Structure 1
């Protein structure tokens, strides 16, 4: 089903690290015009590995963010809305409490499976640019990472892995400039993905979510983030390694001085880069295409089609 012109809808992505809203005009599964967008970093999945629940501070902060999003939706008179929650709410013992609290703030949430998350991410990436032939899409999230590609039978393959940058930051202290920590995390990630195989016909490696977009912003030395420049940006493996070395060797309290660094990602970008590099090694490719569009954009396209 394709959407009609001037079909205004909204998508909200409640992730393990950040919560993101987009209000846009959608036509034929493509985002034609972004009317409004907003992002807040809440680290909703903080300490979930240890406690199994959403902690009080990020829980309440996230609900307050959603209440603010509700005001924006009302301002723009948006009726078609899809709000999705991923691994943090999916895995937390008090996820249902979060859903109810959000509902009281005027936001109806759907907890989506890892497979559906991957499908929406594919839809979102393709809503922003042509993904090319035989693309692989990697979404490194806060609590999970999705690998998505089209199989030979034209069926979409999606796999969700319970590893993400917030979970890694709970296990390793990336605020320290430590080669030992970097090596231990790298070894952990390699072991985690040891049984993952990637088809040998992948022709385009696309990375989406905050690690990838921050890499692009740092490579372009952005002082003000511009999604138009980031979406479709290409960066080499060698440059990614160079940025990794630059970030982890910079004292934590100085990392925000790196042009393009996203506030709140000064430590999270390190495990994110390591995950990207590990999956990239499983292909014969050396260039990463960055997508600013992902799950949130897939949600708005799905909402427009509802």
Structure 2
């Protein structure tokens, strides 16, 4: 069974073609920025829609060359919350890509399946996936998911709402923390109940954190890696305090994340501190890997 997975994220579109999580034939990531400009007004702007459809057409050409048995395309926060999201879905259908717009809870479930496939989950763990439009949290152990929820606190959303100075002002920093305080009381209650001892960050910003902590070199060919929490905290403070141009010159930080990494650092710092978590890891596997794993497991039943 050969499956093509398309993950239509708020910032990036991903294509993964595989016959299993351990047999990947092709993968690609394109910075589409579907949430550019007006994500908080629930609109996909015309330029972003055009980039998205153009990227899907390119993906379709690759998929056709691999003779896949099925295509599973899932759209997340940007399309889910956009008033013109259905227009985007209809345009994609015209080029042969049928998109399923998934709920935040379904998204969290796929992220859990992806991270679970790394073998990382041996203790009670909080998994976090910081997207552009939303951030998902899953409390889990080796037996399965215990609690999960998606929140509209993605990096692109918070950046458009609060990031209006260079570097980020202390007032804006505190406003973001106040917003997290207001948004996440039920996550705090769930963490108090289950007491996760490890935070696993799924791909995205955590890929950049891992690279920056590895002297700017990609952490490639690994499904997961442990991150030194003290070194992470020092890095986070540095990222929050630097200017755009200083971050742009950091080896290991791709252009898409030069500003969004600041928001991701603030969210990660908040979670580590508020949930009193002392261990930190990175999972290379995320939503798209979870879609692949779940779909193939269903076919084998």
Which residue is 1:12 aligned to? Answer: 6
Give the direction of change, closer, same or farther, for the CA distance of 1:99–1:52 in structure 2 (3 Å limit): same
Which residue is 2:181 aligned to? Answer: 190
Which residue is 2:70 aligned to? Answer: 80
Is residue 165–residue 271 contact of structure 1 (8 Å, CA) maintained in 2?
A: yes
Q: Distance in 1 between matches of 2:145 and 2:264?
A: 28
Tell me the alpha carbon deviations over residues 51-101 of structure 1, each in whole angstroms, 9 at most, x when there is no partner.
321111111101111111111111111122211101111111111100011
Which residue is 1:3 aligned to? Answer: none
Candidates 194, 215, 221, aligned match of 1:221: 215
CA root-mean-square deviation: 2.2
Give the direction of change, closer, same or farther, for the CA distance of 1:23–1:226 in structure 2 (3 Å limit): farther
CA shift for structure 1 position 280: 2.2
Alignment of 1:109-258 (within 5 A): 109-150=99-140, 156-173=146-163, 176-180=166-170, 181-196=172-187, 197=189, 198=191, 199-223=193-217, 225-229=218-222, 231-258=223-250
After TM superposition, the score normalised by the length of structure 1 is: 0.88
Which residue is 1:287 aligned to? Answer: 279
CA shift for structure 1 position 282: 3.5
Structure of greater relative contact order (alpha carbons < 8 Å, 6+ residues apart): 1
Q: Can you give the 5+ residue segments of structure 2 that lack an aligned partner in the other structure?
A: none
Is residue 43–residue 166 contact of structure 1 (8 Å, CA) maintained in 2?
A: no
Give the direction of change, closer, same or farther, for the CA distance of 1:251–1:112 in structure 2 (3 Å limit): same
Q: Distance in 2 between matches of 1:175 and 1:23?
A: 40
> SS at 2:28's partner residue?
strand
Q: Distance in 2 between matches of 1:278 and 1:141?
A: 16
Q: Distance in 1 between matches of 2:152 and 2:50?
A: 24
> SS at 2:255's partner residue?
coil
Q: Distance in 1 between matches of 2:125 and 2:85?
A: 33
Give the direction of change, closer, same or farther, for the CA distance of 1:53–1:271 in structure 2 (3 Å limit): same
- Choose between structure 1 and 2: higher helix proportion: 2
Alignment of 1:94-113 (within 5 A): 94-113=84-103
Q: Distance in 2 between matches of 1:215 and 1:23?
A: 26
Q: Can you give the 5+ residue segments of structure 1 that lack an aligned partner in the other structure?
A: 1-6
